[in-house]
Amino acid sequence: MAPRLAFIGMGLMGQGITKNLVEKGEFEKPLILYNRTRSRAEEQSARIGHSIVSSSLSEVVSKADIIWSCIQNEEAVTEMFKSLSSFDIRGKLFVESSTIPAETADSLSKQILDAGAEFVSMPVFGEPSLAYAGNLVCVPAGPRESVARIKPYLVGVVAKAIIDLSGESPGKAALLKMIGNVLIVSTMETVAEVSVLAAKTGIGNSHIQELISNYYKVGPPIYAKKMHAGDYYKHEPMVETSKAIDLSSKVLELAASVGVPLKGYEVGIEHMVAARDYAGPKADILSIYGAVRMESNLKFQNSDEK
């Protein structure tokens, strides 16, 4: 009999992932959805169909065989797993896709394994539009048998590819995600800077967007499109600057511990801090663009540009 899946976390990433699980996954029973704010899970269930909303974590554990989570910050993740561990979770598989430090991933794994369950750390690369398109890159790590249980729901369902760390400690996947964050923030910083340079030299957004889109396939074109469209102040943030800054501090600690300077990354962090100070802690991480604009004597919002 096919395993019963539950998904915890109805943020933008969770919405994209669950949409594709329902559309492309093969489920005998409806997907179980859970979110601390129940209304978000109910709204998502209404959108995607073939799903039910669970009222509590204990109900999630009792009904599901595989419990996949993706929530916004380390504190919420640790609190959630503390609650989950208080139930009878023997034989369950927990798949954790939140962005957390390597030590936290390994600690959660031990906690879950000691309770008789299985644990896979599986951070994902890709922002919400890629989650909706089923084009994430998933990085599963943990016991091979455990990773094998989640693989049928990855490539061709929610992901275009996996970086397979089967047999590695869960912390290895979390570590790769943190290192990847350097690439992400540095890329956003570069796109923000070239976009402002294009604006101030009269080139304009449309031409720089065309250049970026023709030169790169993913990453920079997506960031450029969202920045130029003003998504960083018009829509729900894909990642809040306050949470991105918290993660960045951990990345810098990691880099310092091995003697690696990350100067370009540090500039991106400075602009995230400036964006947070201007627009508030819930400002989108892409507000890096607004910060670079202000530094260049332009308005934070690009509403007057085409």
Q: How far apart are CA 200 and CA 292, in angstroms?
A: 12
Q: List Cβ neighbours of 271 (8 Å cut-off, separation of 6 or more).
A: 189, 192, 288, 291, 292, 295
DSSP code, position 167? T
Q: How far apart are CA 223 and CA 259, in angstroms?
A: 30
Strands of the sheet containing 124-125, edge to edge, are 124-125, 136-138, 159-162
Helix (H, G, I), strand (E, B) or coil at 12: helix
168: left (phi > 0), else alpha (psi -120 to 50), else beta?
beta
What stretches of the chain adopt beta strand conformation (E)?
A: 5-8, 31-34, 51-53, 66-69, 93-96, 118-121, 124-125, 136-138, 141-142, 159-162, 165-166
Q: How far apart are CA 278 and CA 92, in angstroms?
A: 45
Terminal C-alpha separation, the chain: 54
Q: Are 298 and 277 in contact (CB under 8 A)?
A: no
Given the residues 19, 92, 172, 177, the one annotated as active site = 177
DSSP code, position 116? T
Find the length of the chain.
306
In angstroms, the Cα distances linking 281 to 11, 28, 100, 240, 241 are: 17, 42, 19, 7, 6
Rg, C-alpha atoms of the chain: 20
Would you call 225 a catalytic residue per the annotation?
no
Catalytic residue ranges: 177
